[in-house]
Protein backbone atom coordinates (compact mmCIF):
# COMPACT_ATOMS: atom_id res chain seq x y z
CA UNK A 1 0.00 0.00 0.00
CA UNK A 2 1.40 3.48 -0.89
CA UNK A 3 1.57 6.23 1.71
CA UNK A 4 -0.32 9.37 0.98
CA UNK A 5 1.91 12.33 -0.10
CA UNK A 6 2.43 15.00 2.55
CA UNK A 7 3.16 17.69 -0.03
CA UNK A 8 1.65 18.35 -3.29
CA UNK A 9 3.73 18.49 -6.39
CA UNK A 10 3.47 22.29 -6.38
CA UNK A 11 4.84 22.66 -2.87
CA UNK A 12 8.56 22.91 -2.18
CA UNK A 13 10.01 20.16 -0.08
CA UNK A 14 10.88 21.18 3.49
CA UNK A 15 14.42 22.34 3.96
CA UNK A 16 16.84 19.77 5.05
CA UNK A 17 17.81 19.91 8.66
CA UNK A 18 21.46 20.47 9.47
CA UNK A 19 22.66 18.23 12.26
CA UNK A 20 23.37 20.20 15.46
CA UNK A 21 21.36 23.32 14.43
CA UNK A 22 17.99 24.06 15.85
CA UNK A 23 15.24 24.83 13.45
CA UNK A 24 13.82 28.31 13.36
CA UNK A 25 10.34 28.44 14.62
CA UNK A 26 9.39 32.08 13.75
CA UNK A 27 9.39 34.07 10.55
CA UNK A 28 12.70 35.55 9.40
CA UNK A 29 12.74 39.35 8.85
CA UNK A 30 15.21 40.71 6.39
CA UNK A 31 16.12 44.48 6.26
CA UNK A 32 16.59 46.44 3.11
CA UNK A 33 20.21 47.12 2.31
CA UNK A 34 21.62 50.47 3.69
CA UNK A 35 18.96 50.95 6.40
CA UNK A 36 20.31 51.73 9.96
CA UNK A 37 18.61 52.30 13.31
CA UNK A 38 19.89 54.29 16.36
CA UNK A 39 19.26 53.09 19.84
CA UNK A 40 19.65 54.96 23.14
CA UNK A 41 22.84 53.06 23.68
CA UNK A 42 24.30 54.17 20.34
CA UNK A 43 27.79 55.78 20.83
CA UNK A 44 27.10 58.37 18.12
CA UNK A 45 23.99 59.63 19.90
CA UNK A 46 25.86 59.91 23.18
CA UNK A 47 28.71 61.90 21.60
CA UNK A 48 26.21 64.29 19.92
CA UNK A 49 24.47 64.92 23.24
CA UNK A 50 27.79 65.58 24.94
CA UNK A 51 28.75 68.07 22.20
CA UNK A 52 25.48 70.01 22.61
CA UNK A 53 25.91 70.14 26.39
CA UNK A 54 29.49 71.38 26.02
CA UNK A 55 28.35 74.14 23.64
CA UNK A 56 25.62 75.27 26.03
CA UNK A 57 28.06 75.29 28.94
CA UNK A 58 30.56 77.40 26.99
CA UNK A 59 27.85 79.89 26.03
CA UNK A 60 26.68 80.20 29.65
CA UNK A 61 30.23 80.81 30.88
CA UNK A 62 30.78 83.46 28.19
CA UNK A 63 27.66 85.38 29.25
CA UNK A 64 28.53 85.06 32.94
CA UNK A 65 32.09 86.32 32.49
CA UNK A 66 31.13 89.29 30.25
CA UNK A 67 31.85 92.58 32.13
CA UNK A 68 28.65 94.31 33.28
CA UNK A 69 28.21 98.08 32.70
CA UNK A 70 29.05 100.17 35.77
CA UNK A 71 26.16 101.93 37.47
CA UNK A 72 26.11 105.70 36.77
CA UNK A 73 26.70 107.76 39.92
CA UNK A 74 26.15 111.40 40.79
CA UNK A 75 29.92 111.89 40.75
CA UNK A 76 29.97 110.72 37.12
CA UNK A 77 27.28 113.29 36.22
CA UNK A 78 29.18 116.10 37.96
CA UNK A 79 32.38 115.12 36.16
CA UNK A 80 30.59 115.13 32.79
CA UNK A 81 29.06 118.57 33.44
CA UNK A 82 32.43 119.96 34.54
CA UNK A 83 34.07 118.54 31.42
CA UNK A 84 31.43 120.22 29.24
CA UNK A 85 31.90 123.57 30.98
CA UNK A 86 35.67 123.33 30.54
CA UNK A 87 35.53 122.49 26.83
CA UNK A 88 32.36 124.22 25.53
CA UNK A 89 32.45 127.80 24.29
CA UNK A 90 29.63 129.40 26.31
CA UNK A 91 28.30 132.90 25.57
CA UNK A 92 29.35 135.65 27.96
CA UNK A 93 26.92 137.23 30.43
CA UNK A 94 26.86 140.39 28.31
CA UNK A 95 26.06 138.41 25.16
CA UNK A 96 23.17 136.62 26.90
CA UNK A 97 21.79 139.92 28.22
CA UNK A 98 21.98 141.43 24.72
CA UNK A 99 20.17 138.44 23.16
CA UNK A 100 17.43 138.81 25.77
CA UNK A 101 16.76 142.52 25.27
CA UNK A 102 17.48 142.78 21.53
CA UNK A 103 13.95 141.82 20.27
CA UNK A 104 12.45 144.68 22.32
CA UNK A 105 14.76 147.48 21.15
CA UNK A 106 13.63 149.82 18.35
CA UNK A 107 15.18 152.65 16.39
CA UNK A 108 13.22 155.90 16.75
CA UNK A 109 13.45 158.74 14.23
CA UNK A 110 11.62 162.05 14.22
CA UNK A 111 10.96 163.88 10.94
CA UNK A 112 9.96 167.44 10.15
CA UNK A 113 9.33 169.38 6.98
CA UNK A 114 12.13 171.00 5.07
CA UNK A 115 12.24 174.77 4.58
CA UNK A 116 10.28 174.50 1.39
CA UNK A 117 7.78 172.27 3.15
CA UNK A 118 7.94 169.54 0.53
CA UNK A 119 10.37 167.04 2.03
CA UNK A 120 10.66 165.19 5.31
CA UNK A 121 13.97 165.79 7.03
CA UNK A 122 15.37 163.99 10.05
CA UNK A 123 15.16 166.14 13.17
CA UNK A 124 16.02 163.56 15.81
CA UNK A 125 17.25 159.97 16.11
CA UNK A 126 17.30 157.81 19.17
CA UNK A 127 16.26 154.50 20.67
CA UNK A 128 13.17 153.06 22.25
CA UNK A 129 12.20 149.91 24.11
CA UNK A 130 8.90 148.03 23.85
CA UNK A 131 7.44 147.56 27.33
CA UNK A 132 3.96 146.30 26.33
CA UNK A 133 3.57 143.77 23.51
CA UNK A 134 0.78 145.83 21.94
CA UNK A 135 3.43 148.20 20.60
CA UNK A 136 3.79 150.61 23.53
CA UNK A 137 7.31 152.08 23.45
CA UNK A 138 9.31 154.17 25.92
CA UNK A 139 11.82 156.72 24.63
CA UNK A 140 13.19 160.15 25.51
CA UNK A 141 10.99 163.16 24.94
CA UNK A 142 13.82 165.15 23.36
CA UNK A 143 14.12 162.49 20.60
CA UNK A 144 10.57 163.06 19.28
CA UNK A 145 9.65 166.50 20.55
CA UNK A 146 8.64 168.79 17.70
CA UNK A 147 8.62 165.99 15.12
CA UNK A 148 5.73 165.99 12.68
CA UNK A 149 6.24 162.33 11.83
CA UNK A 150 7.68 159.59 14.02
CA UNK A 151 8.94 156.29 12.62
CA UNK A 152 10.13 153.23 14.48
CA UNK A 153 12.02 150.21 13.15
CA UNK A 154 11.64 146.92 15.04
CA UNK A 155 14.30 144.26 15.46
CA UNK A 156 12.93 142.18 12.57
CA UNK A 157 13.14 145.15 10.19
CA UNK A 158 9.45 146.09 10.25
CA UNK A 159 9.02 149.86 9.93
CA UNK A 160 5.99 151.67 11.31
CA UNK A 161 4.81 155.15 12.05
CA UNK A 162 3.95 155.97 15.66
CA UNK A 163 2.37 158.73 17.69
CA UNK A 164 2.91 160.11 21.18
CA UNK A 165 0.35 158.95 23.72
CA UNK A 166 1.94 160.33 26.87
CA UNK A 167 4.85 162.37 28.19
CA UNK A 168 6.72 162.99 31.42
CA UNK A 169 8.76 166.15 30.77
CA UNK A 170 10.38 166.21 34.22
CA UNK A 171 12.06 162.89 33.39
CA UNK A 172 12.46 163.51 29.65
CA UNK A 173 10.20 160.53 28.85
CA UNK A 174 7.72 159.97 26.03
CA UNK A 175 5.35 157.08 25.41
CA UNK A 176 4.77 156.01 21.80
CA UNK A 177 2.17 153.78 20.21
CA UNK A 178 3.33 152.02 17.04
CA UNK A 179 0.69 151.68 14.31
CA UNK A 180 2.05 148.32 13.10
CA UNK A 181 3.84 145.69 15.15
CA UNK A 182 5.55 142.35 14.39
CA UNK A 183 3.45 139.22 14.77
CA UNK A 184 5.88 137.88 17.37
CA UNK A 185 6.34 141.11 19.30
CA UNK A 186 8.31 140.59 22.51
CA UNK A 187 8.10 143.14 25.31
CA UNK A 188 11.02 143.77 27.62
CA UNK A 189 10.95 142.64 31.24
CA UNK A 190 11.24 145.44 33.79
CA UNK A 191 12.93 145.02 37.16
CA UNK A 192 12.96 147.11 40.32
CA UNK A 193 16.01 149.23 41.02
CA UNK A 194 15.59 148.74 44.76
CA UNK A 195 18.46 146.28 45.06
CA UNK A 196 20.86 147.95 42.60
CA UNK A 197 24.26 148.86 43.99
CA UNK A 198 27.38 150.57 42.66
CA UNK A 199 29.53 148.01 40.88
CA UNK A 200 26.62 145.98 39.48
CA UNK A 201 27.16 145.11 35.82
CA UNK A 202 24.80 146.71 33.30
CA UNK A 203 24.38 146.89 29.53
CA UNK A 204 23.19 149.79 27.38
CA UNK A 205 21.67 148.99 23.96
CA UNK A 206 20.83 151.61 21.37
CA UNK A 207 21.65 153.44 18.16
CA UNK A 208 24.58 155.80 18.88
CA UNK A 209 24.79 158.28 16.02
CA UNK A 210 22.19 156.10 14.30
CA UNK A 211 24.50 153.05 14.23
CA UNK A 212 23.12 149.87 15.67
CA UNK A 213 21.76 148.25 17.49
CA UNK A 214 24.96 148.63 19.48
CA UNK A 215 25.79 147.19 22.89
CA UNK A 216 28.09 148.71 25.52
CA UNK A 217 28.80 147.20 28.91
CA UNK A 218 29.80 148.79 32.20
CA UNK A 219 28.82 149.09 35.84
CA UNK A 220 26.54 151.17 38.01
CA UNK A 221 28.65 154.13 39.13
CA UNK A 222 26.15 155.64 41.54
CA UNK A 223 22.50 156.09 42.45
CA UNK A 224 20.20 159.04 43.18
CA UNK A 225 22.28 161.40 41.05
CA UNK A 226 21.20 164.88 39.93
CA UNK A 227 21.84 166.17 36.40
CA UNK A 228 21.26 169.61 34.89
CA UNK A 229 21.03 170.02 31.15
CA UNK A 230 23.84 171.97 29.47
CA UNK A 231 21.46 174.80 28.73
CA UNK A 232 20.44 174.84 32.38
CA UNK A 233 16.80 174.61 31.47
CA UNK A 234 16.06 171.37 33.26
CA UNK A 235 17.30 169.57 36.37
CA UNK A 236 16.66 165.83 36.75
CA UNK A 237 16.92 163.97 40.04
CA UNK A 238 17.12 160.40 41.30
CA UNK A 239 19.09 159.22 38.25
CA UNK A 240 21.21 156.09 37.81
CA UNK A 241 24.81 156.93 36.93
CA UNK A 242 26.67 154.33 34.84
CA UNK A 243 29.90 154.12 32.85
CA UNK A 244 28.82 152.02 29.83
CA UNK A 245 29.46 154.03 26.66
CA UNK A 246 26.49 156.19 25.65
CA UNK A 247 26.40 158.76 22.84
CA UNK A 248 23.77 160.79 20.99
CA UNK A 249 21.37 158.20 19.58
CA UNK A 250 21.49 156.04 22.74
CA UNK A 251 18.85 158.34 24.22
CA UNK A 252 15.69 156.42 25.10
CA UNK A 253 17.40 153.04 25.00
CA UNK A 254 17.23 150.46 27.79
CA UNK A 255 19.79 150.03 30.57
CA UNK A 256 19.59 146.36 31.55
CA UNK A 257 21.05 143.91 34.05
CA UNK A 258 22.95 140.79 33.07
CA UNK A 259 19.57 139.01 33.09
CA UNK A 260 18.42 141.32 30.29
CA UNK A 261 15.88 143.07 32.54
CA UNK A 262 15.34 146.82 32.18
CA UNK A 263 16.28 148.97 35.18
CA UNK A 264 16.47 152.35 33.43
CA UNK A 265 16.00 154.45 30.31
CA UNK A 266 19.21 156.11 29.06
CA UNK A 267 18.59 159.84 28.99
CA UNK A 268 21.74 161.98 29.21
CA UNK A 269 25.53 162.11 29.13
CA UNK A 270 27.78 164.59 30.89
CA UNK A 271 29.63 166.76 28.36
CA UNK A 272 32.01 169.10 30.13
CA UNK A 273 33.83 169.78 26.86
CA UNK A 274 30.64 170.47 24.92
CA UNK A 275 31.67 167.99 22.21
CA UNK A 276 28.61 165.76 22.70
CA UNK A 277 30.88 162.71 23.09
CA UNK A 278 31.02 160.16 25.88
CA UNK A 279 33.50 160.83 28.69
CA UNK A 280 32.53 157.99 31.01
CA UNK A 281 29.53 159.48 32.80
CA UNK A 282 25.99 158.73 31.66
CA UNK A 283 22.60 158.80 33.32
CA UNK A 284 19.38 156.79 33.12
CA UNK A 285 15.92 157.39 34.49
CA UNK A 286 14.94 154.56 36.89
CA UNK A 287 12.37 152.24 35.36
CA UNK A 288 9.94 152.99 38.21
CA UNK A 289 9.59 156.54 36.89
CA UNK A 290 9.28 155.30 33.32
CA UNK A 291 6.61 152.79 34.27
CA UNK A 292 4.54 155.47 35.92
CA UNK A 293 4.69 157.50 32.70
CA UNK A 294 2.87 154.65 30.98
CA UNK A 295 0.46 154.22 33.84
CA UNK A 296 1.94 150.95 35.04
CA UNK A 297 1.96 150.20 38.75
CA UNK A 298 5.43 150.93 40.22
CA UNK A 299 7.35 147.95 41.58
Strands 159-168 and 173-178: antiparallel
Among positive and negative, which fits the CA dihedral 159, 97, 142, 123? negative
Would you say 199 and 241 are in contact if contact means Cβ atoms under 8 Å apart? Answer: no
Non-local (6+) Cβ contacts of 169 within 8 A are: 141
Q: Is 251 designated active site? A: yes
Non-local (6+) Cβ contacts of 220 within 8 A are: 196, 197, 198, 199, 200, 202, 240, 241, 242
Would you say 249 and 241 are in contact if contact means Cβ atoms under 8 Å apart? Answer: no
* Dmax (CA) of the chain: 179
Helix (H) or strand (E) holding 52: helix 43-65
Instruction: Phi first, then psi: give them for residue 104, nearest 5 degrees.
Output: -100, -5
Catalytic residue among 142, 214, 216, 221: 142
Residues 269, 138: Cα–Cα separation, whole Å: 18
Q: Is 192 designated active site? A: no
Catalytic residue among 214, 216, 221, 251: 251
Catalytic residue among 172, 214, 216, 243: 172
Residues 43, 38: Cα–Cα separation, whole Å: 9
Q: Is 62 designated active site? A: no
Residues 149, 144: Cα–Cα separation, whole Å: 9
DSSP 3-state of 142? helix
Non-local (6+) Cβ contacts of 57 within 8 A are: none
Residues catalogued as catalytic: 142, 172, 251
Amino acid sequence: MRRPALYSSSSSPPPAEVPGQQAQTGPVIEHAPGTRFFSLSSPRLLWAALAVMALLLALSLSLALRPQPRKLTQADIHAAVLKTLETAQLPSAVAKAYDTIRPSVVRVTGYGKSKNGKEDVEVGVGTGVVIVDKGIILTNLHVVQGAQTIKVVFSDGLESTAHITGAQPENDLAVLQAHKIPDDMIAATMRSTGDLAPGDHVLAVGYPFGIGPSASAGVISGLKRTFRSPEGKQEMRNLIQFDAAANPGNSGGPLVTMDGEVVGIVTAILNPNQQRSFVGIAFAVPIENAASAVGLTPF
